Amino acid sequence: MSTPATTLTRTEPSVSTAVSKELRREVLEANLRIPRAGLATLTWGNVSGVDRQAGVFVIKPSGVAYEALTEEDLVVVSLTDGKVVEGHLRPSTDTETHRSLYLAFPSIGGVTHTHSTHAVAFAQARRPIPVLGTTHADTFNGPVPVTEALTPQQCATDYEYNTGQVIVDLLDRDDTRAREVPGALVAHHGPFTWGADATKSLEHAVICEAVAEMALHTITLGTVEPPQHLLDRHFTRKHGPDAYYGNPGAA
Ligand SMILES: [Zn+2]
Q: Which is higher by pLDDT, 233 or 197?
A: 197
Mean pLDDT of 72-83: 96
Q: What's residue 248's pLDDT?
A: 64
Ligand 1 midpoint to CA 68 (Å)? 20
Write out pLDDT tens, residues 152-163: 999 999 999 999
Specify the range with the lowest mean pLDDT, choosing from 12-26, 66-80, 190-204.
Answer: 12-26
Query: Which among 169, 175, 232, 245 is annotated as catalytic?
Result: 245
Ligand 1 midpoint to CA 163 (Å)? 10
Evaluate if residue 29 carries a pLDDT over 50.
yes
Evaluate if residue 11 carries a pLDDT over 70.
no
Ligand 1 midpoint to CA 116 (Å)? 10
Q: What is the largest CA-CA distance in the chain?
A: 79
Q: Which is higher by pLDDT, 94 or 63?
A: 94
Active site residue 138: yes
How far is it, in rounded angstroms, from Cα 248 to Cα 163? 37
Ligand 1 midpoint to CA 115 (Å)? 6
Q: Which residues is 75 bridged to in the sheet?
A: 59
Ligand 1 midpoint to CA 27 (Å)? 18
Provide, rounded to the nearest whole percent, the portion of the chain with pLDDT above 90: 76
Query: Which among 51, 73, 138, 158 is annotated as catalytic?
Result: 138
Provide, rounded to the nearest whole percent, the portion of the chain with pLDDT above 70: 92
- The total number of residues shown for the chain amounts to 251
Q: What's residue 40's pLDDT?
A: 79
Ligand 1 midpoint to CA 218 (Å)? 26
Architecture of the domain defined by 21-236? 3-Layer(aba) Sandwich (3.40)
Q: In this structure, are residues 212 and 127 in contact, taking their beta carbons and an 8 Å threshold?
A: no
Ligand 1 midpoint to CA 246 (Å)? 33
Name all contacts of 22-29 with Cβ < 8 Å and 24+ positions apart: 23/49, 23/51, 23/58, 23/198, 24/58, 24/71, 24/74, 25/71, 26/197, 26/198, 26/199, 27/58, 27/59, 27/60, 27/74, 27/110, 27/198, 28/69, 28/70, 28/71, 28/74, 29/199
How far is it, in rounded angstroms, from Cα 233 to Cα 229? 6
First to last CA, the chain: 44
- φ/ψ of 85, rounded to 5, equals -95, -40
Write out pLDDT tens, residues 178-195: 999 999 999 999 999 999
